[in-house]
Chain A
C-alpha cells in the first residue's frame, strides 16, 4: 500500500545550519507529495507540494525535489532560524482520497 517514511524522528540544529529531512515514499504511479509544518497548538500547515518527477516545490526558504528514481522528496533549507522549530511532515496523496503522513520530524533550532 501507499506509505511515506521519514528517517529522522528529531533533528537539533543551530541557527544558520543547513537542514535536510529525508522522506521516501512507496506508491504506484506519480502521486502528489507534500510537506506540512505543525507548530505547537496548531493544525498542520501546507508548506508546498510537487506532482511530477523532477518538479521542485518551495516555500519560506524550504525546498524539495520530487525524485521518482529514488522515490524521495527530501526537505532542505540552507540556513535555519529559531522560528523554524516545529514538526515537519512529509505526506503523499493517494488514489483513494487519503493523505498519508509520515511519522514526522521534530526540528529544534537553537539560537
Chain B
C-alpha cells in the first residue's frame, strides 16, 4: 500500500529515543497508530481526527503521538523497553466515528522496532 508510507521500516534500538513517521495520500481525516506484537492481532494505541487526539488507549507514557497536519502522524518513543519490540502500523480512514457503520480502515506497511 504505497498510499500510506511509514519510515523507518526497520529500527533497532537500545534505550534511545526515536520517532516513527507516517504520511497518508488518501485524503483521510482520521489517522491511527496500532501496535502488533508477534503472533497477535493489531491493537489500537492512538486515534487522531482532523489533528485532534480522540482516543488514547492504555499506552506507556514513553510513547507520545503527534499529528502536525491531517496527512501526517508521528510517534515519538523515549527510553524503549524490551516489551516495545513489535511492528507499529499507521492506519487511516475517511473519518472517525464511522467504523461502526462500515467506514474502512487502511494500513501502512509498518515499522518493525527491535529493542536490544
Instruction: Name A's B-contacting residues (CB within 8 A).
Output: 29, 31-32, 34, 41-46, 49-51, 89, 93-99, 101-104
The answer to whether B100 touches A32, judged by C-beta atoms less than 8 angstroms apart, is yes
CA–CA, A101 and B44, complex, Å: 10
Which of A29, A43, A89, A94 sits near B99, CB closer than 8 Å?
A: A94
CA–CA, A53 and B115, complex, Å: 45
Instruction: Name B's A-contacting residues (CB within 8 A).
Output: 1, 4, 30, 40-44, 47, 54-55, 89, 91, 96-110
The answer to whether B107 touches A44, judged by C-beta atoms less than 8 angstroms apart, is yes
The answer to whether B47 touches A32, judged by C-beta atoms less than 8 angstroms apart, is no
Asked whether A93 and B42 contact (CB < 8 A) given A43-B89, A43-B110, the answer is no
Q: What is the CB-to-nearest-CB distance from A24 to chain B, in angstroms, rounded to a whole number?
A: 15
The 4 A-B residue pairs with the shortest CB-CB distance in the complex, in nearest-first order? A93-B99, A43-B107, A101-B41, A32-B102
The answer to whether A51 touches B102, judged by C-beta atoms less than 8 angstroms apart, is yes
Asked whether A51 and B101 contact (CB < 8 A) given A43-B109, A44-B107, A101-B41, the answer is yes
13 contacts between A and B (CB under 8 A): A29-B100, A32-B99, A34-B104, A43-B1, A43-B108, A43-B109, A43-B110, A46-B106, A93-B99, A96-B55, A101-B41, A103-B41, A104-B41
In the complex, which residue of chain A has the Cβ closest to the Cβ of B49? A97
The answer to whether B99 touches A99, judged by C-beta atoms less than 8 angstroms apart, is yes
CA–CA, A102 and B41, complex, Å: 7
Q: What is the CB-to-nearest-CB distance from B43 to chain A, in angstroms, rounded to a whole number?
A: 8
Known: A44-B42, A46-B106. 8 other contacts (CB 8 A): A29-B100, A32-B100, A42-B110, A43-B1, A44-B107, A93-B102, A95-B100, A99-B99
In the complex, which residue of chain B has the Cβ closest to the Cβ of A51? B102
